[in-house]
Structure 1
Amino acid sequence: MIQISNEKLTVEVNPQGAELQSIVRKDNNLEYLWSGDPAFWGKKSPVLFPIVGGLKNNTYRYQGQDYTLGRHGFAREQLFTVVAQAKDHVSFRLSDNETTRKVYPFHFDFTIQYLLQDDQLQVTYQVLNRDEKELLFSVGAHPAFKVPLVAGTAYEDYYLYFNKTENAGKWPLSPEGQVLQVPQPLLEHTQELPLKKSLFYEDALVFKHLASTAISIRSNRTPHGLTLAYEGFPYMGIWAAKEADFVCIEPWCGIADSVAATGALEEKEGINRLAPGETFEKTWTVTFF
């Protein structure tokens, strides 16, 4: 386990999957990250690469060949290498290897940097195309934050606050995890979504192109919470395992296949295209209060 810290925060990251394991604010001694209780969901903040969500029949087609790839891709199951480290930051890298090339025939470097600045954690994804052909990929975050955050409060005491007024439907998922073709009304001229565990009984709330660039977890019963800012991520998932005490706020550059997906990787909704030698970079941040 690797620890970084500054005057305000202490953060732990596991090189396995480059996955966040703990986020504690020093002055209030609050742990903001979900515990990873395997009775509900054993992960804490998996990294989604080279796909986000599930493929139709767990399969995609590229250059006439079919490949099988599980939900959210393989990065969360790979051991990353530490390539830079100081007291307040650490960078991890995953490069293609024999295992990845069997299911994803591309040469790449995928680097994740965790950087602390005051009361904020910055997470930067950088993808380098080391191939001679165009790199096709998706990338996304899946951090699970503890709710209720403070002792003496309940899950229903908290709400999500969007930094812009939203009129957005959720895109429902099929039992197999594919996006259906018609959204359902959910956010109607509002900046708030009260949290309740039944929200997630039918899987994640999936949004496309929200007006907001930040979502906060707040409560009227405590001054403590967080704000996750995600400018440049066109898709958003909000999810919790059934009856679990957390909520995931998931900025995505990519999305699960739709029920109408052709299976061709080049035609996949939300796919990112990167020319040989070029670099893709996106950053999301969380401010803890």
Structure 2
Amino acid sequence: MIFLENEHIKASFSTKGAELQSLKNKKTDKEYMWSGDAGYWGKFSPILFPIVGGLKNNTYFLGGVAYELPRHGFARDHEFEILKLNESEVIFNFQQNDQTLKAYPFEFSLSIHYELSGAELRCNYIVKNTGNVPLLFSIGGHPAFATPTENDLNYTDYFLEFNHDSELTYHKIKQDLIDERTETIKLERNRLPLNHELFYDDALVFKGLKSDRISLKNIKNPRGLHFSFTDFPFFGIWGAKNANFLCLEPWYGIADGINHNQNLEEKEGIIELEPLKEWNHHWKVEPF
């Protein structure tokens, strides 16, 4: 485990998957990350790469050849190297290997840069194309934040507050694929009240959020967090069935649509990065 700490917050990470596993407010010693209880969902904050979501039949085609990738790709299952580490920041790195090349025939460097700044934790995704052909990839976050139910606090006491949305139009996921049909939720005061039933059919997937900050709050105490993200074209919100956590997921990429032809070059949201070029984007979380 890797630990970062400043006067406001402290965080810990695993080298497997460069996964954020703990985020605490030092003044209150309250934990803001999900516990990773495998009875519900045994992860904390996996990195989704080189795809986000599922592929149709777990298969894509590239140059007429069929390749298989599991839902959300493989980065979360591999050990990362540490390129830099001090009290307030760590940079993890993962590159292609013989195993990944069989399923994903690209050369790449994936770095995950975590940095504490005041009361915020910033997560920056840095992708470099180290090969000599265009790199096709998607990437996304999947952090799971705790919604504890102690002291007469229930899951239904929590809500999400969107800084620029008064209604939410979302796609449902059907057998790991994106349903083209949409549904809309009208928000009162830009707030989405939480209940477990929201996620019984998997995540809510958004393609056109106006907001760049979503706050997780509750009606009974002042504890919560601000989750900020910029220019991510897709966003997912999810919780495991009847579990007391909520995932806020900024994505550069999305699961295949039900009618997708499975060609990777034509996959919705796919990023094409030219040889020797670098791509980076970040999200931030501020617990309070």
Q: Same fold (TM over 0.5)?
A: yes
Q: Which residue of 1 aligns with 2:103?
A: 103
Q: Which residue of 1 aligns with 2:253?
A: 254
Amino acid at match of 1:261: H
Q: Is the 8 A contact 1:167 1:190 kept in 2?
A: no
Cα displacement string for residues 44-91 of structure 1 (whole angstroms, at most 9, x for unaligned residues):
100000000000000000011100000000000010000000001100
Task: Tell me the distance in 2 between the aligned counterparts of 1:36 and 1:43.
Answer: 5
Report the Cα offset of residue 166 of structure 1: 3.3
Amino acid at match of 1:242: K
Task: Tell me the distance in 2 between the aligned counterparts of 1:196 and 1:141.
Answer: 22
Report the Cα offset of residue 151 of structure 1: 4.0
1:43 to 1:73, Cα distance in 2 relative to 1, 3 A: same
1:149 to 1:128, Cα distance in 2 relative to 1, 3 A: farther
1:13 to 1:192, Cα distance in 2 relative to 1, 3 A: same
Q: Which residue of 2 aligns with 1:211?
A: 210
Cα displacement string for residues 147-167 of structure 1 (whole angstroms, at most 9, x for unaligned residues):
027643111111000011233
2:97 corresponds to 1:85: no
Query: Residues 7-18 of structure 1 correspond to what in structure 2 (within 5 A)?
Result: 7-18=7-18
Q: Is the 8 A contact 2:51 2:253 kept in 1?
A: yes
Q: Which residue of 2 aligns with 1:284?
A: 283
Q: Which residue of 1 aligns with 2:195?
A: 196
Cα displacement string for residues 101-138 of structure 1 (whole angstroms, at most 9, x for unaligned residues):
01000000000011001110000000000111100000
Task: Tell me the distance in 2 between the aligned counterparts of 1:118 and 1:168.
Answer: 31
1:248 to 1:131, Cα distance in 2 relative to 1, 3 A: same
Query: Residues 130-149 of structure 1 correspond to what in structure 2 (within 5 A)?
Result: 130-148=130-148
Task: Tell me the distance in 2 between the aligned counterparts of 1:84 and 1:232.
Answer: 27
Amino acid at match of 1:116: L
Task: Tell me the distance in 2 between the aligned counterparts of 1:108 and 1:166.
Answer: 40
Q: Percent identity?
A: 43
Query: Residues 56-135 of structure 1 correspond to what in structure 2 (within 5 A)?
Result: 56-135=56-135
Runs of 4+ in 1 over 4 A off after TM superposition: none
Task: Tell me the distance in 2 between the aligned counterparts of 1:186 and 1:59.
Answer: 33
Alignment TM-score, normalising by the size of structure 1: 0.97
Task: Tell me the distance in 2 between the aligned counterparts of 1:64 and 1:218.
Answer: 48
2:47 corresponds to 1:47: yes
Q: Between 160-169 and 230-239, report the one with greater CA deviation.
A: 160-169
Q: Which residue of 2 aligns with 1:266?
A: 265
Report the count of equivalent residues. Answer: 288
Amino acid at match of 1:46: P
Mark the runs of 5 or more structure 1 residues left unpaired by the alignment: none
Report the Cα offset of residue 252 of structure 1: 0.4
1:111 to 1:154, Cα distance in 2 relative to 1, 3 A: same
Cα displacement string for residues 180-206 of structure 1 (whole angstroms, at most 9, x for unaligned residues):
111112245751100111111111011
